[in-house]
Amino acid sequence: MDVAIVGSGPTGAAYARVLSELRPDLELVSFEAGPLLADPPGLHVKNIADAEERAAAQRRSEGLVASDSEDRRLRRAGTHLLPDGFQQPGEDGIPSLAMSSNVGGMGAHWTAACPRPGDSEVIGFIDNLDELLDEAERLLGVSTHAFDGAPFADEVRARLGRAFDDSRPTGRKVQPMPLAVQTRDDGRVTWSGSDVVYGDATRSNPRHSLFPEAQVRVLRLEDGCVSGVVVRDLQDGTEHYVAAGQVVVAADAVRTPQLLWASGIRPRALGRYLNDQSQVIFAARLRDVVAADAAEGKASGKPRIARQSGVSWVPFTDAEPFHGQVMQLDASPVPLAPDDVVEPGSIVGLGWFCAKDLQETDRLEFDDEQTDAYGMPAIRVHYTLTDRDLAALEQARQTVRKAAEALGEPLDADPITLPPGASLHYQGTARMGATDDGTSVCDPLSRVWGVDGLRVAGNGLIPTSTACNPTLTSVALAVAGARDIASTYPKQEGTLP
């Protein structure tokens, strides 16, 4: 095998896609611990039309251990939480630390928001980051036009713009959220999962194979160089050694460092600088616009979909270090009066994400004795919110209220602060750095310092403190790593006609 890829989320899929396009001579294999949910592999579950089938696919993504019905921690469908070890005495912990285990990873369940990083979110030592982000947008099928023509969306942005845009530079003003979705002729959207990232180039590549329910247990090394992986077939429990010239670990920000640790690869920064984006949510009913638009909709016979409020974005800036996402809620999270008729699109949810004050001590610790349900080192989370984090959260609560009041009537007295982990954006644990100075795990081409042939991928690589959704950036970093394999891996003579 030339390249073994661990994980089939958007970043693992990006390696398979770029290598399929650039190096069709290479033998590629992707191992995925979770089950195959649908065809094509990696399909977003929201694209499964049948509600029961969709729910079954979500349940099948929730790992080996059924969640405890007594567990009151916030958990999203399609994900499973770290069962224990998520909070140490005297610390905040990350109670809602979640993973998805299925072909497509979290990318089969995500909201598909793909904003670009700005100001201090940008990874300064990557010169061609913008071009890599362009390519990531191509792979994910990102568009800013998914909800073009939705009248509420324009109004939402106009109102937010009046509240926020004055002091903002061009490019960081209120705008449509770039989304990894495709709009169909009837106005419905389909959501990009790893299936879109894999694309036909990967699916038609006879030299790429994807094995679901195949968990990589350990990476094998010879003389400081990775030589292959040991894979357990989760259906029959058998283990197999697969030799590989290059290994890419794209197993999320929790399980990527766990696998390296289990393999004896333990750079100082591994699992450290863990950061989650604290999140504040609120809901508002759009003022005035509803009745007028409803009347217009009825008169014109427009389909309901055209009256959605879309997804709007208030970008992060260093002066206002939050990332704001405003999107339609089909129903309010806050109960309305029973006789209150809710016009679709008139209730919007506001989510404000905060950038974390990074600390080396915020970390995942791996146990050499105890194991988890997958037989991997058990995880303990050390995590605290600093005074700066608490101040940022308070500022975010004020800002989200300002946004809600600009839009209309807030539906509750106060914004809700979600528990740590709710963002589903965990970063820093396999950190990228410009030099091997002990504060990073890999170099700008995702190569793990000191281990030849081994790369890492995923949100864990992001070294900056970000508030924006991370997947676009992580896919961009994967593109750089994959291109580097493509340009440096020896040509496989005689494999192509």
Binding letters toward ligand FAD, positions 193-232, x by CB under 6 A: ----------------------xx----------------
106 binds ligand FAD (CB under 6 A): yes
Of the candidate spans 106-114, 140-148, 284-292, 350-358, the one that interacts with ligand FAD by CB under 6 A turns out to be 106-114
Helix (H) or strand (E) holding 248: strand 246-249
Residue 37 Cβ vs ligand FAD, minimum distance, rounded to whole Å? 10
Least distance from ligand FAD to the Cβ atom of residue 429, Å: 11
Is residue 425 among the annotated active site residues?
yes
Nearest to 60 by CA among 9, 108, 119: 108
Whichever of 109 and 382 has its CB closer to ligand FAD, that residue is: 109
Instruction: Give the C-alpha separation, 403 to 163, whole Å.
Output: 7
Cβ closest to ligand FAD, residue 210 vs residue 286: 210
C-alpha distances out from residue 212 to 17, 103, 216, Å? 17, 7, 11
The active-site residue, picked from 44, 109, 382, 425, is 425
8-state DSSP, 144: S
Query: Going residue by residue from 421 to 450, which x/- string records binding to ligand FAD, judged by CB under 6 A?
Result: ---x--------------------------
Task: Tell me whether residue 202 or residue 285 sits nearer to ligand FAD (CB atom).
Answer: 202
Bridge partner list, 225? 222, 452
Closer Cβ to ligand FAD, 205 or 427, answer by number: 427
From the CB of residue 33, how many other CB atoms can be counted at a distance below 10 Å? 28
Task: Enumerate residues 33-62 that contact ligand FAD by CB under 6 A.
Answer: 33-34
Q: Where are the beta strands (DSSP E) in 255-392?
A: 275-276, 279-286, 311-314, 322-328, 347-354, 363-371, 377-382
Task: Determine the distance from the C-alpha atom of residue 407 to the mean position of all C-alpha atoms in its chain, rounded to a whole number.
Answer: 28
Which residue is associated with the tokens 């009347």? 295
Taking contact as CB under 6 A, which single stretch among the options 252-260, 283-291, 339-347, 481-489 is the one that binds ligand FAD? 252-260
CA dist., res. 219 & res. 249, Å (int): 10
- Report the SS3 class of residue 321: coil
What backbone phi and psi angles, to 5 degrees, belong to 228?
Answer: 170, -170
Shortest separation between residue 426's beta carbon and ligand FAD, angstroms: 8
Residue entry with tokens 């970390």: 363
Selected range binding ligand FAD among 76-84, 87-95, 181-189, 433-441, rule: CB under 6 A: 76-84
Q: Is 191 in the site for ligand FAD (CB under 6 A)?
A: no
118 near ligand FAD, rule: CB under 6 A: no
Q: Are strands 246-249 and 454-456 parallel, antiparallel or unpaired?
A: parallel
The span from the CA of 442 to the CA of 457, in Å, is: 10
Binding positions for ligand FAD, rule: CB under 6 A: 6-12, 31-34, 76, 78-79, 100-102, 105-107, 109-113, 215-216, 250-252, 255, 259, 424, 458-459, 469-471, 474
